[in-house]
Homo-oligomer: A and B are copies of this chain.
Amino acid sequence: MVDDIDTLVALTPEAFREERHIDARVLHEVVEIDLTGRRLQVRQLDGTKKAWWEPFDQLMIATGALPIKPAVPGADAEGVYGVHTLQSGIEVRTAVDRGRPKRGVIIGGGYIGLEMAEAFVCRDMEVSLVEQAPQVMNTLDPDMGALVSEALMAVGVTLYRGESLKGFEVKDGKVQGVVTDKRTLPADIVILGMGVRPNTALAKVAGIPLGERGAIVVNERQQTEIAGVWAAGDCAQSFHLVSRRPIHIALGTVANKQGRVAGINIGGGSAAFPGVVGTAVSKICAVEVARTGLQERELEQLGWKYASERIESSTRAGYYPGAGQITVKVLAERGSGRLLGGQIVGYEGAAKRIDILATALHGGMTVGEMVHLDLSYAPPYSPVWDPVLIAARQVEKLV
């Protein structure tokens, strides 16, 4: 557990000012972008001053994403929380510390939902999770998601899969229950983990072109289609290096890389962000979950022919203390054998192996080439044949 909230703040406004000589104005809101006049209308959130106009030469939009809030009755009740900002995290923690809720219900089985389910289990709460899809973690294929569902149930989370949220039961302004299309679950606290959408209303009104899922369209240099206007992070679109199509991925890794590229270019340098391969990783209690590339659903949408194989192996040499199960799934293009994606579910040491697959995707490798990757081996780290190589070897036979 992290005890000091301040350790979670990467940079304070003071550090921006003093160390980087950047005038970071917090508690200020931009209410309008005037592209013709090259100016922003700004107001202070404490309301002490009227809105005013600030001119700009170059504009960088980094408005991030907003959590999706369901349009159902009771969503604004006390006890229903999104977990999006450090502040919302503090609010949930305070609510749990003070109210000592017994029954927690999580809506959505994505990264936030699963991480909050874990946190509630650690607080000895009775935890239920409602997920619309047949399995949690639908960034994995259903067969791999099923392993994550099992892991959640093993730590005591009650899963309601294939169920839709219909509303909340509310009494005196406080949430009492979660209503799905199949049942009502009593709830003392509810977490919304229904994903995010790009926070681009301001950009849209200003006439800055939006693309995939409403994210701002940018080129490799992070330029929008408007001269002198840049965007990066969860509000901006990315390019998927495997599908060769635009994609919106709201992850810190992508945001950091895009921000760095935008900063270099705005500062007069030259940098390009080629794109992403869709890598993500999470931890639910002892279970590590990772994915990269395209999953079956995406490949079917693209109409691409693929082969896939799922193998079970061990995180360490079988005889080595602490060896845990690992399941690796690899997907490759039929005919060419080109690697298209991979997914991993397993115990300690499992997840970071996804980086091998991510690097191979960047390199455009085939599963045949991957079989001979000179990966590291010692009994504390791996079997002689790393599980990733075993999976590649099995898929090679099918392509």
Which A residues form the contact surface with B (CB < 8 A)? 1-2, 4, 7-8, 241, 251-254, 256-257, 273-283, 288, 290, 292, 318-321, 349, 351-356, 358-365, 369, 371-378, 380-382, 384-386
Contacts and interface: CB of A to CB of B under 8 A. Distances in A.
A376 B280 contact: yes
A380 B380 CA distance: 19
Given A319-B7, A320-B2, A374 B279 contact: yes
A359 B369 CA distance: 10
A279 B385 contact: no
A283 B359 contact: no
B356 A276 contact: no
Contacts of A382: 352
A112 to B, nearest CB: 12
A364 B375 CA distance: 15
Contacts of A319: 2, 4, 7-8
A244 to B, nearest CB: 15
A61 to B, nearest CB: 20
A253 B362 contact: no
- Shortest 10 CB-CB contacts between residues of A and residues of B: A363-B363, A281-B376, A7-B319, A359-B359, A277-B374, A279-B374, A253-B377, A276-B374, A283-B380, A281-B378
30 contacts: A8-B319, A241-B374, A252-B377, A253-B377, A253-B385, A256-B385, A257-B371, A274-B372, A275-B372, A277-B374, A278-B374, A279-B376, A281-B377, A281-B381, A283-B378, A288-B381, A352-B376, A353-B355, A355-B373, A355-B375, A356-B356, A356-B359, A358-B373, A358-B375, A359-B359, A359-B365, A360-B363, A362-B372, A362-B374, A363-B364
Contacts of A364: 363
A281 B377 CA distance: 6
Q: How many copies does the complex hold?
A: 2
B352 A363 contact: no
A358 B376 contact: yes
Given A318-B7, A319-B2, A356-B356, A251 B349 contact: no
Given A252-B377, A290-B376, 11 more contacts: A8-B319, A253-B384, A256-B384, A292-B376, A349-B352, A351-B376, A355-B373, A355-B386, A356-B356, A358-B374, A359-B375
Contacts of A349: 349, 352
A370 to B, nearest CB: 8
Q: Which of A277, A281, A283, A320 has the most CB of B within 10 A?
A: A281
A369 B362 contact: yes
Contacts of A275: 372
B283 A381 contact: yes
A59 B180 CA distance: 69
A359 B373 contact: yes
Contacts of A375: 253, 279, 355, 358-359
A140 to B, nearest CB: 14
Contacts of A254: 374
A353 B321 CA distance: 21
Contacts of A276: 374
A354 B376 contact: yes
A306 B274 CA distance: 25
Contacts of A277: 374
Contacts of A8: 319
